[in-house]
Chains A and B, each alone.
Chain A
Amino acid sequence: MQATDFESRGIVAGAREGFIAFLPVSVGLIPWALVVGMAMTSAGFTPLQAMGMNIIVFAGTAQLGTLPLIIDNAPLWLILATGLALNLRFLIFSAGIAPGFRGIGTGWRWLSGHLLTDGSFAVCYDKMMQVDDPRWRLGYYLITGVWTWLLWQTFTLAGIFAAGIVPKSWSLEFMATIALIVLLVPMAKSRPMLVAAMVGGGSAVLLRGMPLRLGVVTAICLGIAAGFAAEHWQEKKAA
């Protein structure tokens, strides 16, 4: 069919360009995936459990961030609340990139949503807004999501098996803490973000005695409020 031919060229052409733009960015996923794989193994997950989490959750930050709570046998609602807090940025990314899905069906939108990551958002945002052909846009976006998924699963699996052969005295579980630091440091470069992080971290220490580990959630809320307040204060000062 002629129409299908034309349509598939649109999606393939988009995918080709998307892949070229995304390939260099995607290399940064590799150490991250290795560390998440090692951290899950250090937490005591079997390879099946670790890959189960990796495929079902598919979110490095939320996986690493909730691991200490899972190890501590924290209540489910606290794990959920922490996971949500770590994923809230995706609400903003999703709202931002949503206009780029004009003319694309609901099924593709669900798949695209599931595959939305920081890297895909950053690389695809401009093209999703500018290009007219919805199939080209879908191809461009989806290739970044599918490639992220493949790299992520492959190198997490490598990390799971690498951790299995390393002796316990090497304290590999600390790699998870370093990974969270690596995520946090570039965020904290703006003053209000630094305030949010310091208030969140400081109050989590001070409130660690609260029952049911309510301290973590309270600390996150205080950190958000402090960052927001600092932003207002900074703007007032500038004005």
Chain B
Amino acid sequence: MNYDASLWLIFIVLGLATTLPRASFIVLGNRFSLPPTLQRALRYAPAAALAAIVVPDVLVIGGNVAPVNPKLAAAIAAILVAARWRNPWLPFIVGMGVLLGIKALLPGQG
């Protein structure tokens, strides 16, 4: 795939969307603070956002919900391994192993 110059605009916008929240209160000092209720609600943003990206990625194939597919099986394997062991490499080894194993055994399954 080829990207045009607008890719760099995306990077700059994302860079601002990273540095500004990070620098916000450190730069402002104690002059401002977030309402505690908002702080508590915002803690859920990363989990909600990650799931909103991952779940459709492994559950939707070509626009339809596919409850049986190699990516979903690999994702479930990775979840189980990540929940059980703290080794940072293991979910990648097991997840990729399951994905490639199923694809090798069942050619044509996505």
Contact = CB atoms under 8 A, between A and B. Distances in A.
Interface in B39-68: 39-60, 63, 65
A23 interface: no
Interface stretch (A2-10, A107-115, A149-157): A107-115
Contacts of A109: 23, 26-27, 29
Contact of A116 (B23, B48, B63): B23
Interface string A199-212: 11111110010000
Interface in B7-36: 7-15, 17-19, 21-30, 33-34
Contacts of B45: 85-86, 88-89, 220, 224
A91 B21 CA distance: 5
Nearest to B74: A174
Interface in A191-239: 192-193, 196-205, 208, 216, 219-228, 231
B9 to A, nearest CB: 7
Given A224-B44, A228-B40, A170 B7 contact: no
A184 to B, nearest CB: 4
Interface in B72-98: 74-75, 78-79, 82-83, 88-89, 91-92, 95-96
Contacts of B47: 184, 187-188, 193, 196-197, 200, 223, 227
B83 A185 contact: yes
Contacts of A219: 48, 52
Contacts of B49: 65, 82, 85-86, 200, 220, 223
Interface of A: 28, 31-32, 35, 43-45, 49, 52-53, 56-59, 61-63, 65-66, 68, 70-71, 76, 79-80, 82-95, 97-99, 101-102, 106, 109-110, 112-116, 170-171, 174-175, 177-188, 192-193, 196-205, 208, 216, 219-228, 231
Given A110-B27, A223-B44, 16 more contacts: A56-B14, A56-B15, A62-B14, A65-B49, A65-B50, A80-B17, A82-B49, A112-B23, A115-B22, A178-B74, A187-B50, A204-B53, A205-B59, A219-B48, A219-B52, A227-B44
22 contacts: A44-B1, A53-B11, A92-B39, A92-B42, A109-B23, A109-B29, A113-B19, A175-B96, A178-B92, A179-B92, A181-B54, A186-B82, A187-B46, A196-B47, A201-B52, A201-B54, A204-B51, A205-B60, A219-B52, A222-B48, A223-B52, A225-B41
